[in-house]
A and B are shown apart, each in its own frame.
Chain A
Amino acid sequence: MPDFMGMGESNVRIAVLSGKGGTGKTLVSANLAAAAPDAIYLDCDVEEPNGHLFFKPEHVQEEEVTIKIPVVDNTVCNGCRKCVDFCRFNALAYIKDRLIVFDEICHSCGGCVMLCPEKALTEQDKVIGKVQKGISGDVTVHTGMLNTGEASGVPIIKSLLDGIKDSPDSTVFVDCPPGSACIVMESIRDADYCVLVAEPTLFGVHNLSMVYDLVKLFNKPFGVVLNKCLEGENPAEEFCVERGIKILAKIPFHHDLGLLTSNAEIAVRKDEKYKEMFSSLLNMVMGEVQCEATSHS
């Protein structure tokens, strides 16, 4: 196995993403982490984290994630509306001599509290979810969980990323949320390399093109894993070939892989054939990362 370490101060971070759910992000990221010698698996799909169902981590520690929300004392507020005019997200309204705060619109910038000349606004913690950390074999499993009904999982992802700063030698595999919105941008922000997972359908091409645009916008090196491959045409493969996009692997649409996955097993840990397949994908990805590191040094 090539030397993955010694590539700098921080760990190597591989983000796995796709334009929609169900393409195989968790399959790829969990199996890559399981194939690596010392890995951190980071489940950033905070609205529906499922990696922990496969890893079944032990010695789980849990921490709440809070955000700051302004709270008004309407007996002090003089209705100057500086806060209302300032808030870019319109989380505040002044109606009938009362200031109203819309918690779920607030982005916790704290600007209204700083601006208030009457000091009528204070900040209060609001719990929006939690992060868990546990051990599964050689893999440290970090899971972000956003409470139902909360608008943004970004603070949970920030907390997850903060939580891996003290383990610089491990390779990090980020299981991203589906799509290409803010929450995905946050997940890939510090990534050294992005793995895009795609399905072999026209719909799959549409979803692939969304994340393709995103990683290009962020100037991230990337490659594609074609999942659920069958005999015959593969529009996602054609998309890659036409654009000269690196295809890292083609995962066959096999009954045994589906069965392992539906039984919440990690294929790499159960079947030598898949251990070989994901180890070779891991080598390829790490080779790409090193190649990028060299060409940019």
Chain B
Amino acid sequence: MKIAVPVDEKDLETNVCGSFGRAPYFLIYETETKKSTFIENSALASPGGAGIKAAQLIVDSQAGVLLTPRCGENAAGVLESAGIKIYRTRFASVKENLDSLSNGKLSLLEDIHAGFHGHGGE
């Protein structure tokens, strides 16, 4: 299974990014091979709807799980219709969150926020 995480830098030691839709990169971790790849978030500079576009990227990466500190309602709508489970990160470090997930210690992200539509872009 593939696990996606929004991250600040294209580096295995990177931290989880505070934003999902406007994270610079997504780390895609493959649980079988234990390998990580990075995809650039082309939604980063979008004037609007960044969450939707970022979610589309995650769907296209064929990830089954997303780890993120927060997620807006439009992005969550896209991810849910693709059957992707969203878990809330608990640590800054990507590795700690991945370990936590495999130990069953991360819980699903319940409080989906209403998004920041129109703030900054429109």
Contacts and interface: CB of A to CB of B under 8 A. Distances in A.
B82 A91 contact: no
A105 B82 contact: no
A100 B78 contact: yes
Contacts of B55: 93
Contacts, number: 57
A190 B48 CA distance: 26
Given A89-B47, A151-B118, A102 B52 contact: yes
B38 to A, nearest CB: 21
B2 interface: no
A95 interface: yes
B49 A95 contact: no
Interface string A72-99: 0000000000001001111111111010
| Interface-centre pick from A93, A102, A181 (highest chain B CB count, 10 A) | A93
Contacts of B118: 151-152, 181
Contact of B52 (A93, A96, A151, A181): A93
A291 interface: no
Interface string B83-121: 100000000000000000000000000000000011000
Interface in A194-231: none
A24 to B, nearest CB: 25
Interface residues of B, number: 20
Interface residues of A, number: 20
Interface string B1-37: 0000000000000000000000000000000000000
B81 A88 contact: no
| Interface-centre pick from B43, B49, B81 (highest chain A CB count, 10 A) | B49
B115 to A, nearest CB: 9
Contacts of A276: none
A93 B43 CA distance: 13
Interface of A: 84, 87-96, 98, 100, 102, 104-105, 151-152, 181-182
Shortest 6 CB-CB distances between A and B: which pairs?
A90-B49, A90-B53, A89-B48, A90-B52, A105-B49, A95-B82
Interface of B: 43, 46-50, 52-53, 55-56, 59, 74, 77-78, 81-83, 117-118, 122
Given A89-B49, A100-B81, 8 more contacts: A84-B56, A88-B48, A89-B46, A89-B48, A94-B56, A96-B83, A98-B81, A151-B117
